[in-house]
């Protein structure tokens, strides 16, 4: 199933016990509220996490502008930028302004790259993220749809489980690094080949 805003909102509504929807034209009040919640919660989730499916690396474009006094260079942020993860080559002599530009004292002729979070098209959302956003929207609307106080707590508990599963699934898109060399143990003459246990 290809994800779309409509399908994710429809899924959220079914979690709340409402009928699924086919489109967002002429929405009733709960569908309109779900759409508004989606428009806030989905980008917020992308911005507050580092979901690997929504991360890319781009070369920064140096602008031919005179930067303010303390800066030497101005770069434009990549299209679709939501949040920076890091700059390559690694340096800390920069600041982001207006969510449009980076001022820096480092760079010049050396190309600068940025690893950053962007908003991919909904059709590219993995199933775990579709599920998470559907549950986040349902959780947001649960209080207004609640038949009893227990209803909200059940939705909230389910959201926490779904969120944990989504983060675990997404973390598998990154290799695990293990420390191969243990300098302190090596200096003491203890290594995998020489240490026999007790």
Cα(88)–Cα(2) distance, integer angstroms? 34
Q: What is the mean pLDDT of the chain?
A: 85
Helix spans in 50-181 (H): 127-145, 149-171
Task: For residue 141, give the nearest of 2, 16, 56 by alpha carbon.
Answer: 16
Q: 108: buried, middle or exposed (CB in 10 Å: 19+, 13-18, 0-12)?
A: exposed
Q: Tell me the pLDDT band of 37, cut-offs 50, 70 and 90.
A: very high
Handedness of CA 182, 186, 189, 192 (dihedral sign): positive
Per cent of the chain over pLDDT 70 is: 84
pLDDT at 190: 56
Claim: this prediction has a pTM higher than 0.85:
no
pLDDT at 160 over 80: yes
Where do the structural domains in the chain lie, given as residue ranges? 5-51+122-171, 52-118
Q: Kindly report, residue by residue over 38-83, the tens digit of the pLDDT.
A: 999 999 999 988 899 999 999 999 998 888 888 999 999 998 899 9
pLDDT at 136: 94
pLDDT at 194: 47
Assign 102 to helix, strand or coil: strand
Q: 115: buried, middle or exposed (CB in 10 Å: 19+, 13-18, 0-12)?
A: middle
Across the range 5-21, mean pLDDT stands at 93
34 vs 89, more confident: 34
Across the range 130-135, mean pLDDT stands at 95
Cβ neighbours around 188 below 10 Å, total = 11
* Cross-strand bridge partners of residue 83: 117
pLDDT at 147 over 70: no
pLDDT at 50: 82
Cα(125)–Cα(4) distance, integer angstroms? 9
Cα(95)–Cα(74) distance, integer angstroms? 10
Cα(4)–Cα(76) distance, integer angstroms? 30
Q: Which residues contact 138 (CB under 8 A, 6 or more apart)?
A: 12, 13, 15, 16, 155, 159
Cα(102)–Cα(90) distance, integer angstroms? 14
pLDDT at 198: 46
Cα(93)–Cα(87) distance, integer angstroms? 10
Across the range 155-166, mean pLDDT stands at 86
């Amino acid at each position: 199933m290809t994800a779309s805003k409509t399908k994710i909102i429809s899924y959220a509504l079914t979690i709340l016990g409402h009928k699924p929807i086919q489109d967002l034209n002429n929405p009733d009040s709960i569908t309109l509220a779900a759409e508004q919640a989606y428009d806030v919660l989905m980008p917020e989730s992308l911005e507050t996490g580092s979901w690997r499916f929504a991360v890319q690396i781009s070369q920064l474009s140096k602008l031919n502008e005179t930067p303010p006094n303390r800066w030497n260079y101005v770069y434009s942020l990549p299209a679709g930028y939501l949040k920076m993860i890091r700059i390559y080559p690694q340096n800390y002599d920069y600041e982001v302004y207006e969510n449009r530009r980076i001022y820096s004292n480092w760079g010049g002729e050396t190309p600068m790259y940025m690893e950053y979070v962007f908003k991919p098209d909904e059709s590219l959302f993995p199933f775990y993220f579709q599920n998470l956003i559907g549950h986040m929207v349902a959780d947001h609307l649960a209080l207004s749809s609640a038949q009893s106080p227990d209803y909200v707590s059940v939705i909230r508990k389910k959201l926490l489980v779904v969120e944990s599963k989504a983060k675990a699934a997404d973390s598998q898109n990154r290799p695990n690094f293990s420390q191969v060399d243990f300098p302190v143990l090596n200096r003491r003459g203890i290594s995998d080949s020489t240490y026999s246990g007790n």
